[in-house]
Structure 1
Amino acid sequence: MLSKGMSDGGCSDPSVVEWEKDKKLIMMTACDGGRRRVYESGDMGESWTEALGTLSRVWGNKQGESVKHVGSGFITATIEDRDVMLVTLPVYVKKAETRGNPKSELHLWLTDNTHIVDIGSVSGEGDDAAASSLLYKRSTRGTGNKENKEELIALYEKKKGGKENSLGMVSVSLTEQLERVKKVLATWQEVDKSVSQLCVSLLAQKGISTNTVCS
């Protein structure tokens, strides 16, 4: 557990979001050893506990002596009436024709703190993506507030050839990725519904209380 004002050894570049569903703050950090550690706080940041068993150490960054910590895009959103978290992180890929250090592709990840899915690459081909941020906004248009306009935008730092110097920032509209997110959420909903129905059916057959099983 971490107290307010303290940091875990070897971790930096924190990104913090408010997860209203569980009334918690969630913080993602980049750490030595190539892992992203995630912490939760139920007291508005006075103390932090590592979210082992859910999100912590699921994601990795570049491993090795030359690892550089970079900040991640990390936001919450309500999409298709479901609370989710969206994350952008570099995935390091070394292609056969590439010499030296592998380049990083920026990937978008979706999670609801239970399921986790890699939506795919969001950076331009050949870009060596580093630090990133995300923006999601939804506006209502038309009569009766029936028509919603949604936008998901990624902003990332572009580098070249593994060098320290940045070539600037790149902004990308993630329209296709947002549609994939919606399809994944629809799949999760169907799977959760099927599992719930199966669980109820099994409990009814065995006469087992639902308070102790499938909860």
Structure 2
Amino acid sequence: MSADGCSDPSVVEREKDKLMMMTACDDGRRRVYESGDKGESWTEALGTLSRVWGNNKKGQMKRVRSGFITATIDGVGTEKRNVILVTLPVYPKEDGGNEKDELHLWLTDNTHIVDIGPVSGVDDAAASSLLYKGAENGDNEKKEDKLIALYEKKKGDEEKPSPGMVSVLLKKELERVKEVLETWKEVDGRVSKLCPTSSAEHYKSTGSACSAVKITDGLVGFLSGNFSDKNGRTSTSG
């Protein structure tokens, strides 16, 4: 365990020689760290992904390893998009009930974040991992890309995960990921055109939001679906 009270790390290579690590921490939050020297030193990714995910009920959060991968997604228009996919448990709102720890899939490109939805069905899920396989060109046809979630399943009321594992093919969720990426692309395109080119110089001189700086740089937005019929969650940080 680290000095910050964090453990159960999941590590991915974001770019060449650049690593990212997600950890589960005592305060209920997921902290994300970055390394540019192949893991010799780590810096918390404050202002982007670190501490975005968490649980506000002290003592309820169970430290388990998350699914945490990078993927180059095919089929987003004519482009391929580099993204991060995460699986994490969403814990019951009420203590002492029979609700289960539901595993959710999350999508982020380090600027936007969205909850794609639950992937564990009726199972009480614990630690998880993800596998993405890109589409391949075969002899006669193009093979589809695939996203698979693997998670530990807890038995009944037992706190410890059972030895058994569950594998789920996330076909609908992968299609949803591609739809969201298309939406992000459209929205970012609209935002980038908010400042008319003809008046750009005027706006730059007045110190308004219309400047040479891209106004979405450094902004992290989190949008999720409803966790219940009446309650939803949104969060933005920058």
TM-score (norm 2): 0.77
The one of the two structures with greater contact order (alpha-carbon pairs below 8 A, sep at least 6) is 2
Which runs of 5 or more residues in structure 2 are unaligned?
A: 206-210, 218-238
Q: Is the 8 A contact 2:72 2:134 kept in 1?
A: no
**Could you say if the C-alpha distance between residues 131 and 149 of structure 1 is closer, same or farther in structure 2, counting changes exceeding 3 Å?**
same
Structure 2 residue 184 is matched with structure 1 residue 194: no
Task: Provide the residue aligned with 1:31 in structure 2.
Answer: 25
Pairwise CA distance, 1:190: 0.3
Give per-residue Cα distances to partners, 1:129-158, cap 9 Å, x unaligned. 000000000231246x98342010000011
Structure 1 moving runs of 4+ over 6 Å: none
Letter aligned with residue 89 of structure 2: P
Structure-1 residue corresponding to 2:160: 165
Note closer, same or farther for the CA distance 1:204–1:93 as it changes in structure 2 (3 Å cut).
Answer: same
1:117 partner amino acid: V
Aligned to 2:53: 59
| Cα separation, 1, equivalents of 2:144 and 2:214 | 41
Question: Which amino acid is the alignment partner of residue 179 of structure 2?
Answer: K
Cα drift, residue 43 of structure 1: 1.4
For the pair 1:116 / 2:113, whether they are aligned, the reply is: yes
- 1:103 corresponds in structure 2 to 100
Could you give the per-residue CA deviations for residues 61-87 of structure 1, whole angstroms, max 9, x where no partner exists?
484335431000000001131110000
Does the alignment pair 1:88 with 2:87? yes
Q: Taking structure 1 as reference, are residues 124 and 207 closer, same or farther at Cα in structure 2, changes over 3 Å only?
A: closer
1:200: Cα distance to partner?
5.2
Name the CA shift for 1:213/1:142 in 2 (closer, same or farther; >3 Å): closer
Deviating more after overlay: 6-15 vs 104-113: 6-15
**Aligned to 1:199, what secondary structure does the other structure show?**
coil
Shift of 1:8: 3.3
RMSD of aligned C-alpha atoms?
2.6
Distance across 1 between alignment mates of 2:32 and 2:82: 18
SS of the residue 2:37 aligns to:
coil
Q: Does 1:132 align with 2:113?
A: no
SS in 2 for 1:190: helix
The structure whose residues are more often helix, as a share, is 1
Scaled by the length of structure 1, the TM-score of the pair is: 0.84
Sequence identity, in percent?
Answer: 67
Aligned length: 205
CA distance in 2, matches of 1:62, 1:162: 22
Per-residue CA deviations over 1:40-59 (Å, capped at 9, x if unaligned) read 11111111111111100000
Give structure 1 stretches of 5+ with no counterpart: 1-5
Post-superposition shift, 1:164?
Answer: 2.6
